Amino acid sequence: MDNPLLDFSGLPRFDAIRPEHVGPAIDALLAEAEAAVASAETVAPVSWPTFVTPLEDATERLWRAWGQVGHLQAVVNTPELREAYNANLPRVTRFGSALGQNLALFAQYKALAASAGFAGDDAVRRKVVENALRDFCLGGAELEDTAKARFSAVQEELAALSAKFSQNVLDATDAFALYVEDEARLAGLPPEVVATARAAAQKEGKPGWKLTLQMPCYLPVQAYADDRGLREALYRASGVRASDAGPAELDNSGLIDRVLELRAELAALLGFASYAEYSLATKMAQSPDEVLAFLRDLAGRALPFARRDRAELEAFARDQLGLDTLQPWDLGYAGEKLRQARYSYSEQEVKRYFTERGVLAGLFAVIESLYGVHVREDSAPTWHPDVRFYRVEDASGQLLGQFYLDLYAREGKRGGAWMDDGRNRRVGSQSMQTPLVYLVCNFGKGVDGKPATFTHNEVTTLFHEMGHGLHQLLTAIGELPVAGINGVEWDAVELPSQFMENFCWEWERVQAMTAHVDSGEPLPRALFEKMLAARNFQSGMLTVRQLEFALFDMELHSRFDPAQDSVLQLLERVRDEVAVNRAPAWHRFPHQFSHVFAGGYAAGYYSYKWAEVLSADAYAAFEEAPDAIAATGARFLAEVLSRGGSRSALENFTAFRGRAPSIDALLRHSGMSGDAGAAAQA
């Protein structure tokens, strides 16, 4: 087939997709989808095979192809691909808006719900229809024509602003480089970071070393560079990315204001008091007040521990490092020095044991032991030579799903780590479509012929994203709208991912996945015990940092009045309430807050802590039955992972746990279940 974006016969042809394919493919797929919509509007009688199936057939092809374009834009961004993406984004957004507002389709779904056979249909299909009816209301289907047109225009502009925000952050990150010619300034940095920086400079024909804001460089500089000025230089550069402190064309200031204005307008058009209320209409939490109360209750529990952490760090930095004033660019460095002093080990010492091959083998062994499935290497066209491809099979060898693994940071690739679906599970009368998943991280590659090594934090990140992937790959639901993570309340979607992180702290699992990069020896038990003792090191500070982001997000989308306030002023008030480590006044965190301004977490960042309650409590079931791991894993698979969005997240959790969730396990796992003073003496 000439255009790979129109080929749905097998796996995506990522090696063949070019920017010039995007426009013609979207032309063809939009025409097909629009024709399917027109037919579905009048089909009679309304039934699943006459109405839902043909409508999903056409729209799924459009979303799958567009998903491939969006994915490539995130992992191998080029000017040509970005231009093609931006040119077609309004058209695709417009179609999605029109679909959500189509009164004829809304009426057809109502007719399907009222049909004689619907009450006797299976619960999964009933949930699909119930969600569809809800989403038509939230999509503006019941608005008057003028308001409906405005609603669509707002959605279209928001999609464009979101893409521009993300692109500005990417470009601002890639644009920075600090060239160092005096090797003494690199003292303290891990050898692989120095080698990578040297190779980057040589690639550009420059002397010395090239330091960047990519995480495999930025984080080690903050944690290990003895040169305080070097730490400060990168911290400052990172803190003002995509802001008024840089090039005007990359400044996200105006985008932030406009996004907030449009979101408020969108909510008002539907009769919601705020965008937060609109956002929560599809989540577990019932109101912004409930979320804010949850966050502030957790803050009240965490702040004593956070203040203790800060006081200990200040005293150590003053007495042992000669730092009378603890600056933001000292936090990572002083924290790592304190960890080494208190627990007699460094993250870099641990990192030498977590080699790529061992970590992946250990991850796949955990999956097999929990769920009785097997992960095997597979082959597929990819978008970059570093990308690997795998298949997941059940005990009988039947294919359950496949996934791509893109582990390493590079220019043109969005920062962070994420999971996205390339294709969801779907069961038809004559066929079954298996899930296809993208797992993306931004770790450092191996250098000088050695394999990549990961910090323990990076290992937990990989396990986290694999948890998301398993939610997609192990679904047993055959209806697209509620298979995998589709239809799952956003504040519960982190449950499977955070749950997987716990297995990075079990001795037998860790021992099995480690092999020293030089000797091949597994991690010594004594070193693991030090890691375990330090597991909750500075957990109070880490908790309130996440609460700062979550409170800022929820306040921003529920109570913020731009006529009375600025975004930065609101953030400072939130920091007055919960922060123990204050960012400088010139720092521009909101300008890089892609989760909220370019992702799906607007009025939803609290989900990380909300779901952490669920995930900690779910893992506690395994702690309570250490001799029944396979049985407990089978129950978690049956009641949570495989169910997808076919029933509420609370029903899933209660079916697995036998009761409502409790915060006790989260506090215990975080080392915040007792008194901060007593904990300091322990």
Measure CA of the first residue to CA of the last residue in the chain; give whole Å: 67
Contact status, residue 567 vs residue 229, Cβ threshold 8 Å: no
Which residues, in sequence order, are bridge partners of residue 375? 392
Q: Strand pairing of 374-377 and 388-393?
A: antiparallel
Convert 217-256 to b/e letters by CB count within 10 Å (16 or more is b). bbbbbbbbbebeebbbbbbebbbbbbbebbeeebbbbebb
Q: Distances in Å between the alpha carbon of 154 and those of 45, 601, 614?
A: 35, 18, 35
Length of the chain: 682
Crossing angle (nearest 10°) for helices 288-321 and 331-343: 70
The type of residue at 389 is F
CA 568 to chain centre: 24
Helix (H, G, I), strand (E, B) or coil at 328: helix
- With a CB cutoff of 8 Å and minimum separation 6, the contacts of 275 are 263, 264, 266, 267, 557, 558, 602, 603
How far is Cα 486 from Cα 124, in angstroms, rounded to an integer?
12
3-state SS track over 167-201: HHHHHHHHHCCEEECCHHHHCCCCHHHHHHHHHHH
The CA dihedral of 231, 235, 238, 244, to the nearest 10 degrees, is -130
What count of other Cβ atoms lies within 10 Å of the Cβ of residue 286? 11
Contacts 24+ apart (CB under 8 A), 323-330: 327/232, 328/235, 328/581, 328/582, 328/583, 328/584, 328/587, 329/222, 329/228, 329/231, 329/232, 329/234, 329/235, 329/236, 330/228, 330/231
Where are any strands of DSSP class E within 425-558? 426-427, 432-433, 436-443
HSE toward the beta carbon, residue 6, CA cutoff 13 A: 16
Q: In this structure, are residues 101 and 41 in contact, taking their beta carbons and an 8 Å threshold?
A: no
Q: Where are the beta strands (DSSP E) in 84-198?
A: 178-180
Query: CA-CA distance, 627 to 276, in Å (whole number)?
Result: 44
Q: Which residue in 628, 66, 557 sits closest to 272, CA to CA?
A: 557
CA angle at 389 for the pair 384 and 392, rounded to the nearest 5°: 160
Find the helix or strand (DSSP H, E) in which 356 lies: helix 356-371
Active-site residue flag, 465: yes
The SS3 assignment for 37 reads: helix
- Number of neighbours of residue 205 by Cβ within 10 angstroms: 6
Q: What is the DSSP letter of 286?
A: -
| Four-CA torsion 68, 72, 75, 78, nearest 10 degrees | -170
Local structure of residue 411 (DSSP, 8 states): T
Q: Tokens 């729209």, residue?
A: 59
Active-site position among 156, 277, 336, 465: 465
How far is residue 190's CA from residue 349's CA, in Å, rounded to a whole number?
10
Amino acid, single-letter form, for residue 3: N
Tokens of residue 315, six digits: 């005293």
Residues catalogued as catalytic: 465
